[in-house]
Structure 1
């Protein structure tokens, strides 16, 4: 299943996944440097959905805060 994800890097609240009206909001502690925030997003979503990290793929938005993510179920 595919989801739109809004990422909040460098957050003190993270790792945390919240649902909003139109997207999932993912708070991660990692900063957006050298892909660290993307790794945090994959880790947080995998834990949230109960799938292995390999089951979460970032399809679009690798360098943006709004991403399109696919989660294998």
Structure 2
């Protein structure tokens, strides 16, 4: 399952912040320095979706706010949508 995300680093807390241009907007507490925001995003998604972090990987956008992330395993698209709904 591929997720299309808009990520905003440097926020006060990491959370789903609604929608941005049809993408799920994620506010990340980590700054966009030395891959910190990307690492926080993968760690946060792993905790929220209750899947091992190794089952989440970037498809594109590591150096952009617009990211495509793939999640695989026993979680369904419906479960992902329910957990991450803004």
Give yes or no for TM over 0.5: yes
Equivalent position of 1:17 in the other structure: 16
Take 1:17 and 1:49, find their aligned partners in 2: how far apart are those partners? 13
C-alpha displacement at 1:3, in angstroms?
Answer: 0.8
Question: Does residue 50 of the first structure (1) align with residue 38 of the second (2)?
Answer: no
Residue 72 of structure 1: aligned partner: 72
Q: Find the aligned partners of 2:26 and 2:68 in 1 and give their Cα distance.
A: 12
Which structure 1 residue ranges, 5 or more long, are not aligned? none
Identify the structure with the greater helix proportion.
Answer: 2
Structure 1 position 19, deviation (Å): 5.1
Corresponding pairs, count: 72
Q: What secondary structure sits across from 1:51 in the alignment?
A: coil
Gaps of 5+ in 2: 74-86
TM-score w.r.t. length of structure 1: 0.86
Larger Rg: 2
Q: Which residue of 1 aligns with 2:39?
A: 39
Runs of 4+ in 1 over 6 A off after TM superposition: none
Q: Tell me the secondary structure at the aligned position of residue 57 of structure 1.
A: strand
